[in-house]
């Protein structure tokens, strides 16, 4: 068994235009002050990180890592959630997702998709330069508008969508192999890879690619009413990243999984700060330890009620208290009477 590393914090929800959240030096000092020992980096946020330079320069990566280390944290992984989303966008979402790209690519879906692929590849190269072995991302989505259709989906529609999704990601996965970096897709509603079945459909189409792996986040499973504990056992060999995020699901006579178009605070399913929701993190951390997960426990703060800075500080202590330092011996070793093969045979009555 192995001990999970952490606590770490995903910085995407905290980066901003005011100090200390507007510079790499400032935000890493703040994260360490909150009690974190690692940070997951949003690779698209130029206030904190220059992705182009990181892909080209090992010296720049050493400099960035050095600043973090001097402030008391280390980089756990890079994230390409926004760029990965743009690898596959259904036309219904073109305008909504244009904001994820640079201004010169907006309004041109083909150029935007090519830019996104290049960005994800650069992040994989940068991950290698930083000494990382995993990178977080989204899969993007072509089939999502048809997840609960009326009228029914025409035969072959989903298959065609997943064939195309795999075609777009296969060269990126091959580059990931060259870099020695796993792509950990966050299994997330809104993405074509949103549960176990959809992940397996994709995995089949990329021929079980060794670099196609999972970012496990139980909050998204609570909101889908999916068994998030069983999921760990099913996919333990593919779970390479862990977002620690809480959620609750409280259906009423008026609303359920789909939320009734209500704002977050009024939905049946809501993200909550750690410890304020329904996720059984004691059981999750136990399964992670038993399954030899040795990655990072990364807090992703999202809550419809609590202030983010309070959620961040509380989250560091929450994760620290849940990390299991795994045992190096059996609890009943004191009662070991010693034995050998001959004794075992006598105990079994075998001559």
Determine contact, residues 181/133, Cβ cutoff 8 Å.
Answer: yes
With a pLDDT cut of 70, the percent of the chain lying above it is 99
Name the pLDDT band for 335 (thresholds 50, 70, 90): low
Burial class of 320 by CB neighbour count within 10 A (0 to 12, 13 to 18, 19+): middle
Q: What is the pLDDT of residues 141-154, one digit of tens each?
A: 999 999 999 999 99
Q: Which residues contact 190 (CB under 8 A, 6 or more apart)?
A: 141, 144
User: If we measure between CA atoms, which residue out of 96, 72, 136 comes closest to residue 296?
Assistant: 136
Distance from C-alpha of 90 to C-alpha of 1, rounded to nearest angstrom: 42
Q: What is the pLDDT of residues 271-311, one digit of tens each?
A: 999 999 999 999 999 999 999 999 999 999 999 999 999 99
Q: Which residues contact 8 (CB under 8 A, 6 or more apart)?
A: 36, 37, 38, 39, 40, 73, 76, 296, 297, 298, 299
Q: What is the pLDDT of residue 351?
A: 75
Average pLDDT score over residue span 110-121: 97
Determine contact, residues 113/101, Cβ cutoff 8 Å.
Answer: no
Q: What is the pLDDT of residues 215-250, one digit of tens each?
A: 999 999 999 999 999 999 999 999 999 999 999 999
Query: Comparing 345 with 239, which gets the higher pLDDT?
Result: 239
Which DSSP string do the residues of 93-137 spell out, in sequence order? GHHHHGGGS-GGGTT-HHHHHHHHHHHHHHHHHHHHHHT-SEEEE
Distance from C-alpha of 24 to C-alpha of 61, rounded to nearest angstrom: 12
The pTM of the full predicted model, rounded to 2 decimals, is: 0.95
Q: What is the pLDDT of residue 119?
A: 98
The alpha carbon torsion through 258, 80, 142, 113 (nearest 10 deg) reads 140
Tell me the sheet residues that pair with 214.
185, 239
The secondary structure of residue 18, as a DSSP letter, is: S
Q: What is the pLDDT of residue 330?
A: 76
**Domain boundaries, position 262:** 5-347
pLDDT at 41 over 70: yes
Distance from C-alpha of 299 to C-alpha of 310, rounded to nearest angstrom: 13
Q: What is the pLDDT of residue 336?
A: 76
Split into its structural domains, the chain has a count of 1
Average pLDDT score over residue span 78-83: 98
Average pLDDT score over residue span 176-186: 98
What is the average pLDDT value for the chain, to the nearest integer? 96
Query: Comparing 351 with 158, which gets the higher pLDDT?
Result: 158
Phi and psi at 239, nearest 5°, equal: -80, 110
Q: 181-185, 301-305, 335-339: lowest mean pLDDT where?
A: 335-339
Name the pLDDT band for 339 (thresholds 50, 70, 90): confident
Residue ranges of alpha helices (H) inside the chain are 24-34, 51-56, 58-70, 81-85, 94-97, 109-130, 157-179, 196-205, 218-222, 228-234, 281-290, 308-322, 341-347
User: If we measure between CA atoms, which residue out of 134, 102, 131 comes closest to residue 116?
Assistant: 102
Q: What is the pLDDT of residue 340?
A: 86
Specify the CATH number for the domain of residue 142.
3.20.20.150
The secondary structure of residue 147, as a DSSP letter, is: S
Name the pLDDT band for 327 (thresholds 50, 70, 90): confident
Distance from C-alpha of 218 to C-alpha of 112, rounded to nearest angstrom: 31
Name the pLDDT band for 347 (thresholds 50, 70, 90): confident
Distance from C-alpha of 167 to C-alpha of 161, rounded to nearest angstrom: 10
User: If we measure between CA atoms, which residue out of 92, 212, 117, 204 comes closest to residue 159?
Assistant: 204
């Amino acid at each position: 068994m192995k001990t999970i590393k952490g606590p770490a914090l995903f910085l995407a929800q905290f980066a901003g235009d005011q100090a200390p959240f507007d510079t790499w030096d400032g935000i890493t000092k703040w994260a360490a002050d909150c009690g974190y020992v690692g940070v997951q980096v949003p690779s698209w946020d130029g206030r904190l990180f220059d992705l182009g330079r990181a892909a080209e320069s090992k010296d720049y990566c050493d400099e960035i890592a050095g600043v973090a280390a001097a402030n008391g944290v280390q980089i756990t992984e890079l994230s390409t959630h926004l760029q990965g989303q743009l690898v596959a966008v259904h036309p219904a979402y073109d305008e909504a997702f244009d904001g994820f790209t640079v201004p010169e690519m907006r309004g041109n879906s083909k150029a935007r998709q090519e830019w996104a692929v290049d960005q994800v590849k650069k992040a994989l190269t940068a991950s290698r330069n930083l000494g990382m072995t995993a990178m977080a991302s989204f899969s993007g989505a072509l089939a999502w508008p048809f997840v609960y259709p009326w009228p029914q989906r025409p035969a072959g529609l989903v298959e065609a969508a997943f064939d195309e999704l795999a075609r777009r990601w296969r060269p990126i996965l091959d580059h990931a192999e060259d870099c020695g970096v796993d792509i950990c897709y966050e299994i997330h509603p809104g993405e074509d890879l949103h549960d176990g079945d959809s992940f397996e459909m994709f995995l089949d189409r990329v021929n079980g690619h060794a670099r196609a792996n999972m970012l496990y986040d139980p909050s998204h499973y609570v909101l889908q009413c999916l068994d998030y504990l069983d999921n760990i056992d099913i996919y333990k060999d593919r779970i390479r990243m862990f977002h620690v995020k809480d959620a609750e699901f409280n259906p009423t006579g008026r609303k359920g999984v789909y939320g009734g178009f209500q704002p977050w605070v009024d939905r049946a399913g809501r993200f909550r700060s750690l410890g304020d929701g329904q996720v059984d993190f004691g059981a999750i951390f136990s399964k992670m330890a038993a399954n030899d997960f040795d990655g990072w426990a990364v807090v992703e703060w999202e809550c419809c009620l609590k202030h983010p800075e309070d959620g961040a500080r509380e989250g560091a202590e929450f994760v620290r208290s849940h990390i299991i330092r795994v045992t190096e011996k059996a609890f009943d070793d004191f009662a070991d009477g010693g034995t050998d093969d001959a004794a075992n045979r006598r105990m079994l009555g075998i001559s």
